[in-house]
Amino acid sequence: MTDTSHDLRRVLAPKTVVVVGSKRADAYMWLRNYSTFTAGPVYSVQIDPNEIPGIEAMGVKNYTSLMDVPGDVDYVMCAVPRPVAPRVIADCAKKGVGGVALFTSGFAETGEEEGIRLQEQVLQIAREGHLTLIGPNCMGLYNRKLGIRQSTDQGHGEAGDVGFISQSGTHAINFGLVGEVHGVRVSTSISIGNAIVLDVPDYLDYLTDDADTRVIAMYIEGVKDGPRFVRSLRRAASMKPVVVWKGGVTDAGARATASHTGSLATSSAVFRAIVRQCGAIAADSLEDTIDVVKALLHAKPATGRGMGLMAMTGGQSVVITDAFVNAGLDVPRLSAASYEQLASFFNIIGGSYQNPLDMGGTIGFGGSAETLRKLFEILDADPNVDAIAREMASGFLARMWQSNPASLDGLLDTLAAHKQRSAKPFVAILQPQHVEDVVAMARKRIQERELAVFASFERGARALRRAVDYHRFRAGLD
């Protein structure tokens, strides 16, 4: 049984940090990860005299015992060799620290006897000492605002708004890194490792109540206490969007079963159903998770499925329609009022406005801001349109954006002004095409304006569809 009385705020938003076992061999990784910690002191605990000078050279005060560290300690990162781990964990309990993340690995995940025995020992000590323990075999905490990181590549400073829970240290780090490139910033991310004391529901409950966290995402491979997971997930999803990326979807073997139902109920099929039943959102990969989070964060909420689509050429008009229809969204005819307005100025030589608006010839590839604004206004006012997606024609326009960045800024300002004015979700599709470098620059500028931008029609459509599904669930539709 998991002890649910842990006060996670103290350990996940700490004011004092201690690294136990920092060493030259890993280039003082944890002290460097925490070098950006701003809320209070970072201390080191290391008994090896060969290691201490290197630690002190970083300007970090070292102690030879956790018990000697002055004052309260909120967060301990423990990176000692595994035979020493039980002793450090006992010290953490004795000291009454806020919590400890155990980076040390070689426990039950090895499947070998010694590892299992040590894990049991650590668990006993933690339980008896009512110790909040993250891990073992984990990368601990990433708190962007406080500058506590899992990797020195991760950003720090301004608070992010996405909480992340990960059974894998790699995916925890990558969600922080790749998310940031896509305008998705972490509030609090926890690499939970073997999760012997605190488990997914503990962190989920914390992030559900965390005011900085607007959206929660997680990477999980398995669940220990199914009913408890379901309760936490239901509660979380009733308060904010939760995206669940489940690793290991292929079943190793068929379930031993006597019934027909049993042979069909693969664990992944059941898990996906439970995610939906709880009102959470299933994702398939890191990119997919980030896409959905992006749509939830940066596009406005909507419960309708009618798309107003904008593309610059005929070919793109066709395939943007395919992508959104395939994702389960609708591309309806516009209202009579919209058609009447469009007929008065839309250039139908090499274009059309049935929906999608094939508008290259109307706004021109130089991009008339005035005309574009007018098109946005028509779609925004159209009762058949619930959300708008726009193809950016990067393949044709990137060179111009490169030589004349003001042209890009002008275009993006028009998009941003539309987003601000409109209550309908807006997504931009910016394909890398043959101009990946320019597109990377353009994407950064789009994201600075907090617009939801996707690398393909399919990704944008699938992400928006699931955001709409979530809002429909919350609204009691479907």
Residue 243, both tokens: 């995206």
Check if the beta carbon of residue 23 is closer than 8 Å to that of residue 46: yes
Residue 304 CB, nearest approach to other proteins (Å): 18
By the 8 A CB rule, do 51 and 23 touch? Answer: yes
Among 38, 257, 285, 404, binds other proteins (CB under 8 A): 257
* 352: its two tokens: 């059309």
Q: Please report, as a single letter, which amino acid is at residue 277.
A: Q
Q: If binding is defined by CB under 8 A, does position 42 make contact with other proteins?
A: no
Rounded CA separation 234/284 (Å): 20
Q: Which one of the spans 92-100, 130-138, 176-184, 271-279 is the region binding other proteins (CB under 8 A)?
A: 271-279
113 touches other proteins by CB under 8 A: no
CB of 258 to other proteins, least distance (A): 5
Instruction: Please state the closest distance from residue 276 (CB atom) to other proteins, in A.
Output: 7
Q: Which one, 28 or 473, has the nearer CB to other proteins?
A: 473
Whose Cβ is closer to other proteins: residue 239's or residue 264's?
264
Q: How far apart are CB 199 and other proteins at their closest, in Å?
A: 13
Q: Where are the alpha helices (DSSP H) in 210-332?
A: 226-239, 260-264, 267-277, 286-298, 314-326
Question: 162 in helix, strand or coil?
Answer: strand
Determine the Cα–Cα distance for residues 331 and 39; give it in Å rounded to an integer: 50
Quick one: which of 70, 81, 83, 262 contacts other proteins (CB under 8 A)?
A: 262
Tell whether residue 270 is a contact of other proteins (CB under 8 A).
yes
Is residue 475 within the footprint of other proteins (CB under 8 A)? no
Nearer residue to other proteins within complex by CB, 265 or 416: 265
Told to check if 111 binds other proteins by CB under 8 A, we report: no
Site map for other proteins, 272-291, x if CB under 8 A? Answer: -xx-xx--------------
156 CB neighbour count, 10 Å cutoff: 18
Piece in contact with other proteins (CB under 8 A), picked from 27-35, 70-78, 256-264, 350-358? 256-264
Whole-angstrom Cα distance, residue 132 to residue 129? 9
State yes or no: residue 417 binds other proteins (CB under 8 A).
Answer: no
Measured from the CB atom, is 32 or 474 closer to other proteins?
474
Which one, 121 or 267, has the nearer CB to other proteins? 267
Name every residue whose Cβ is closer than 8 Å to that of residue 385 and which is 6 or more positions away in sequence: 306, 307, 308, 332, 334, 355, 379, 424
Please enumerate in sequence order all residues whose Cβ is within 8 A of that of 15, keeping only pairs 6 or more positions apart, or say none.
39, 40, 72, 74
Residues 126-155 that bind other proteins (CB under 8 A): none
CA atoms of 124 and 121, how far apart (whole Å): 5
Angle between helices 226-239 and 200-209 (to 10 degrees): 20
Nearest to other proteins of 43, 229 (CB atom): 229
How many residues at the interface with other proteins, by CB under 8 A? 23
Only one of the segments 11-19, 219-227, 382-390, 399-407 lies at the binding site for other proteins (rule: CB under 8 A); that segment is 219-227
Q: Which of 5, 259, 344, 403 binds other proteins (CB under 8 A)?
A: 259
Collapsing DSSP states into helix, strand and coil, what is residue 151?
coil
Residue type, 226: G
Residue 49 in contact with other proteins, rule: CB under 8 A:
no
- Smallest gap from Cβ 167 to other proteins, in A, equals 14
Binding range to other proteins, per CB under 8 A, among 240-248, 258-266, 345-353, 364-372: 258-266
Per-residue binding letters, 168-207, with other proteins (x by CB under 8 A): ----------------------------------------
Give burial (CB, 10 Å; 0-12/13-18/19+) of 38. exposed
59 binds other proteins (CB under 8 A): no
The 225-254 site mask, x for binding other proteins (CB under 8 A), equals -xx--x------------------------
Residues 6+ apart with CB under 8 A from 165: 189, 190, 192, 200, 203, 204, 207, 216, 217, 218, 219, 220
CB atoms within 10 A of CB 48: 11
Least Å from the CB of residue 469 to other proteins: 11
Identify any residues that bridge with 62 across adjacent strands, giving them in sequence order. Answer: 44
Task: Report the distance separating Cα 140 and Cα 163, nearest Å.
Answer: 14
User: 35, 151, 267, 384: which one contacts other proteins (CB under 8 A)?
Assistant: 267
CA trace torsion 162, 167, 173, 179 (10° rounding): -40
226/224 Cα distance (integer angstroms): 6
Q: Is the CB of residue 276 less than 8 Å from the CB of residue 170?
A: no
Q: Is 52 in the site for other proteins (CB under 8 A)?
A: no
Report the nearest approach of other proteins to the CB of residue 227 (Å): 7
Taking alpha carbons only, the member of 302, 335, 347 closest to residue 475 is: 302
- The site for other proteins (CB under 8 A) is made up of 222-223, 226-227, 230, 255, 257-262, 264-265, 267, 269-270, 273-274, 276-277, 476, 478
